Amino acid sequence: MTSLGSPGASRIPTAIAQALINVVDFGMPLRGAVLAPASTPRATSSPTRPARESPTSPSTSAS
């Protein structure tokens, strides 16, 4: 039995997919596929969410 995993939060799916593609499509041994240079972008794809105002914030409290 073989297991495959990756650290890296949002990059986990692409890292695992890349290793599997290297093995299946390019015939690389598993160790070589895992150690191959990664082509995963380092930028995040999720947009930055604006902070929500709390009910006690100065912009919503009565003066």
Tally the domains of the chain. 1
6: containing domain: 1-36
Above 70 in pLDDT, residue 44?
A: no
What are 10-19's contacts with CB under 8 Å, separation 24+? Answer: 10/44, 10/45, 10/46, 11/40, 14/40, 15/40
In a domain, 18, yes or no: yes
pTM: 0.57
**Would you say residue 13 lies in a domain?**
yes
Domain presence at residue 61: no
Using pLDDT thresholds of 50, 70 and 90, give the confidence band for residue 25: very high
Domain presence at residue 50: no
* Confidence tier at 37 by pLDDT (50, 70, 90): confident
Using CA atoms, how far apart are residues 27 and 22, in angstroms rounded to an integer? 7
Does residue 60 fall inside a structural domain? no
